[in-house]
A and B are shown apart, each in its own frame.
Chain A
């Protein structure tokens, strides 16, 4: 019964992802017909302007939406497993903002030396920032057992990090700062193949690691004591959950800036659609769900007010915050 539900879910979501991927490539400010797009994709590299728009701009952007959106949702799901609570995600815990602050600081440092920052350096800086924010959250979570306080602390941390980021961005003097500003708002624009290659490697590694811990993750749903009693190495599992989710959130932030609420809302939507929280199903399902939502939101971000582009975070917030609020109300109603 649930097997059929899973099959239907995976079929539908795959079809939707393909459909939205296609729409993302066809739609845009430059008018390129469907036939031309087909010709460019199948025909290879003709050196026209249309071809460079499709293959150089829209295609990598759509692929990045799939990979980064999936990464965010997966990161959120892993954090939710870690905290045993569905109302957490990399953004609300301040992890994305920590990554953002460190990328901004490192970027400005490199600019002041007159150098461009490499992609690897950017990911590394984001990972350091994400890990520090994560460490702070963990420190609080040891002190307070209350999840709402933890989330509030995370949001506060996020604000502080954003404030410092804004400050350094405002006072840094360089023409490149314009890019930095766009990036710090959250955007998928300007993705190139070089970025895609690095993103794909990191996301693939994280996804595989997540699949490797799906068995202990499932036992962990019964809580620490029962999980330990069936032989789960709790420490290792916790370290893995934190490491993978931080790396995923850091990767997203390094390349696209902070994208809000995908990590917290998408696993919930997917869980509700599937009617299960079983890790072997939820790991791929969250990833695909995140990919779909992000493709959709990026499409809205760049087409609705075209030619002006809004930040993707504004779009994800508009669509996903209601979901988060609904979740919170439903949960508090059930617990009381």
Chain B
């Protein structure tokens, strides 16, 4: 591991069959939250999937703690980076504790038997996201808000240095949105983890992020602090809402 920590991309090209966005350079340092905003289909999820390794990059390099992602073994990547994605998972008869325990996969032996330390970490993570009382409940039977917290606990007990979250607040009501983001904020600061996530709620993104990356029109339009990015005119352009009478920066929405 070199001196550099966190995640960084250099001239990254992403996309499925053709380039969706070219030449992305972004950087998330430990303890920092970087948020991707932009309209649906702009490539936020594609970018996160490329960083997590689910999609192959079409060019450029992803550095994890200073090392080229391609040069790392799957098990090494797993110890450095964990994810929370938007997929609805429906595991059969799997308790919440079992879901969280999957996060210890990179640390257990070839038969996957958990040590006392592993169990302790699982318990800690579940207490931390306030789902400890659900440990014997079946994952399929709990609410969406609880599911999201269980998945966050899973990502936390993987002890990553980098965490990637795709719309961690989707399916949640406003109270749970704020709750989960506060936990992510505290986790990033407390454990010095580099957090990169996508969000749709601009008001929340503005409050929680250290840096905001705006994706739209096939490129990264702007990167900067919330103060730099959240300008009425720019946000209107980003979401193609130039002609709509809507309070872009607040939480209020009036349609003509």
A227 to B85, CA, bound (A): 12
Number of interface residues of A (CB under 8 A): 27
Query: Complex Cα distance A214/B158, Å?
Result: 19
B143 adjacent to chain A (CB < 8 Å)? no
| Among A212, A232, A233, A278, contact of B98 (Cβ-Cβ < 8 Å) | A278
* CA distance in complex: A231, B111 (Å): 14
Task: Take A215-B111, A215-B112, A218-B112 as given contacts and tell me if A229 and B93 are in contact as well, using a CB distance cutoff of 8 Å.
Answer: no
Contacts of B85 in A (CB 8 A): 225-226
Q: Is the CB of B93 within 8 A of A275?
A: yes
What is the minimal beta-carbon distance from A119 to any residue of chain B, in angstroms?
Answer: 33
Of the candidates A223, A225, A231, the one whose C-beta lies within 8 Å of that of B77 is A231
Q: Which B residues between 77 and 127 are near A, CB-CB below 8 angstroms? A: 77-79, 81-83, 85, 87, 89, 91-95, 98-99, 102-103, 105-106, 108, 110-112
Kindly identify, within residues 185 to 221 of chain A, every residue whose CB is under 8 Å from any CB belonging to chain B: 211-212, 214-215, 218-219, 221
Q: How far is the CB of B121 from chain A (nearest CB, A)?
A: 14
CB-contact partner of B102 in A222, A275, A276, A277, under 8 A: A222
A223 to B94, CA, bound (A): 13
Decide if A280 is an interface residue (CB 8 Å cutoff).
Answer: yes
The 10 closest A-B pairs by CB, nearest first: A215-B112, A231-B78, A230-B105, A231-B75, A277-B92, A277-B93, A221-B91, A231-B74, A229-B83, A230-B78
> Which of A86, A219, A225 contacts B105, CB < 8 Å?
A219
- Residue pairs across A and B with Cβ atoms less than 8 A apart, 6 shown, are A212-B110, A225-B54, A226-B154, A229-B54, A231-B74, A231-B75
> If A225-B83, A229-B81 touch, does A214 touch B112 (CB 8 Å cutoff)?
yes
A-B contact sample (16 more), CB < 8 A, given A222-B102, A277-B93: A214-B112, A215-B105, A215-B108, A215-B111, A221-B92, A226-B102, A229-B54, A229-B78, A230-B102, A230-B105, A231-B78, A276-B93, A276-B98, A277-B94, A278-B98, A280-B112
The CA-CA distance from A277 to B77 in the complex, in Å, is 27
A226 is contacted by which of B74, B83, B92, B95 (Cβ under 8 Å)? B83
Q: From A223, A228, A230, A278, name the one whose CB has the most chain B CB atoms within 10 angstroms.
A: A230
**B50 close to A (CB within 8 Å):** no
User: Would you call B42 an interface residue if the criterion is a C-beta within 8 Å of the partner chain's C-beta atoms?
Assistant: no
A-B pairs under 8 A by CB, number: 81
Question: Contact residues of A with B, CB < 8 Å?
Answer: 1-2, 86, 211-212, 214-215, 218-219, 221-223, 225-233, 271, 275-278, 280
Task: Give the distance in Å from the alpha carbon of A108 to the alpha carbon of B103 in the complex.
Answer: 53
Which residues of the partner chain A approach B78 to less than 8 Å between Cβ atoms? 229-231
Q: How far is the CB of A145 from chain B (nearest CB, A)?
A: 14
Report how far A277 CA is from B81 CA in the complex, Å. Answer: 27
Give every chain B residue within 8 A of A215 (Cβ-Cβ).
Answer: 105, 108, 110-112
Nearest to A80 among chain B residues (CB) is B92
The residue in chain A whose Cβ has the minimal distance to the Cβ of B74 is A231
What size tier do the contact residues of chain B reach? 20 to 34
A221, A228, A280 pick with most chain B CB within 10 angstroms: A221
Bound CA–CA A214/B82 (angstroms): 21
Q: Which residue on chain B has the smallest CB distance to residue A274?
A: B93
Bound-state CA distance A226–B84 (Å) is 8
Contact in complex: A221, B105 (CB < 8 Å): no
Residue of A226, A227, A275, A277 with most partner-chain B CB within 10 A: A226
Q: How far is the CB of A212 from chain B (nearest CB, A)?
A: 7
Question: In the assembly, what is the distance between CA of A223 and CA of B83, in Å?
Answer: 13
A280 to chain B, nearest CB (A): 7
**How far is B208's CA from A2's CA once the two chains are assembled, in angstroms?**
41
Q: Quote the shortest CB–CB distance from A323 to chain B (angstroms).
A: 16
Q: A1-B136, A233-B74 are in contact. Are A223 and B112 (CB under 8 A)?
A: no
A102 to B89, CA, bound (A): 38
Q: Which residues of B contact A278 (CB under 8 A)?
A: 94, 98
User: Which of chain B's residues have a CB closer than 8 A to the CB of A228?
Assistant: 53-54, 74
A214 to B113, CA, bound (A): 10
Q: B52 near A: Cβ within 8 Å?
A: yes
Q: A1-B136, A222-B91, A277-B94 are in contact. Are A232 and B105 (CB under 8 A)?
A: yes
How many angstroms from the CA of A219 to the CA of B100 in the assembled complex? Answer: 10
* Known contacts A230-B103, A280-B111; A86/B92 CB under 8 A: yes
Interface string of B148-177 (1 = CB under 8 A from A): 000000100010000000000000000000
Contacts of B92 in A (CB 8 A): 86, 221, 271, 277
Measured between alpha carbons, how far is A221 from B102 in the docked complex, in Å?
9
* Minimum CB distance partner of B77 in chain A: A231
Q: Which of A222, A223, A225 has the most CB of B within 10 A?
A: A222
B138 to chain A, nearest CB (A): 9
When chains A and B are docked, how far (Å) is the Cα of A27 from the Cα of B130? Answer: 58
- Contact at A229–B112, with CB atoms within 8 Å? no
A-contact bits for B22-57, CB 8 A (1 contact / 0 none): 000000000000000000000000000000111000
A231, chain B: closest CB distance, angstroms = 3
Contacts of A232 in B (CB 8 A): 74, 105
A218 to B108, CA, bound (A): 13
Q: Tell me the bound Cα distance from A275 to B136 in angstroms.
A: 11
Complex contacts, B98 vs chain A, CB 8 Å:
218, 276, 278
> Of A230, A233, A271, which one neighbours B106 at CB under 8 angstroms?
A230
A278 to B91, CA, bound (A): 10
Indicate if the CB atoms of B82 and A229 lie closer than 8 Å: yes
